[in-house]
Amino acid sequence: MELKDAVVVVTGANRGLGRHLAAQLLERGAKVYAAARRPESVDLPGAVPLRLDVTDEESIRAAARTASDTTLLVNNAGISTATSLLTGDLGSVRLEMETNFYGPLAVTRAFAPVIEGNGGGAVLNVLSVLSWLHPAGLGSYAAAKAAAWALTDAAREELAPRGIAVSALHVGYMDTDMAATVPADQKADPADVAAQALRGIEKGLPEILADETTRYIRQGLAALPEAA
């Protein structure tokens, strides 16, 4: 997909990876709707602030009406509560699923007809290496991202006949607020991750693997388990 002159909605664009994605899209000549629950928190020159709460369907519908010229959707907004599935608060588990799975599902359902009506385009879902690796301490986040991976694969098949390509971005820890407690040498640079993501969209890659850990884990999925 050509990004120059594309019209892009980036959810969670007010900080972290979302802000880097929005900034680099602007540099490439795209029109960018920087979506956030609080649009006044968007401070990116050239971007169009857009109110969008991925857990609020009316907010999503209103955003789709406002950004009616969209050709690329980036489902970036997400949360991590570090909740155990078996001992953690069920409300936190539900919140992660609402934000990290139902959120991108609802936003994609709202914007797919918009993108199709504008001649086709693409969707990028920001996922995680934890789509495939499921540590107990991050069980709710991993479960939600695993579900979002399934969503991405199913949506790719369903939207292809409508002229919409669907890509998944998988990455480990990034140097953002979400991974603030992780040692710095274990974090990817979000600016570099954003650049890889945009190159992947341009090439139409179904999966974009943004760091060595993610590439290693993904390769391991193809290995057969040892016989008992």
By C-alpha distance, which of 72, 150, 157 is closest to 111?
72
State how beta strands 48-51 and 31-36 pair: parallel
Active-site option among 102, 145, 173, 216: 145
Does the annotation count 145 as an active-site position?
yes
Q: In this structure, are residues 94 and 147 in contact, taking their beta carbons and an 8 Å threshold?
A: no
Output the CA–CA distances (angstroms, integers) from residue 78 to 15, 62, 126, 158, 164, in the order listed: 11, 20, 9, 23, 23
Half-sphere exposure of 160 (CA within 13 A, CB side): 9
Does the annotation count 4 as an active-site position?
no
Q: How far apart, in whole angstroms, are the C-alpha atoms of residue 156 and residue 193?
A: 22
Q: How far apart, in whole angstroms, are the C-alpha atoms of residue 141 and residue 155?
A: 21
Q: Number of H helices and number of E strands within the chain?
A: 7, 7
Active-site option among 141, 173, 187, 203: 141
137-174 burial code (b ≥16 CB/10 A, e <16): ebbbbbbbbbbbbebbeebbeebeeeebbbbbbbbbbb
Q: State the catalytic residues.
A: 141, 145
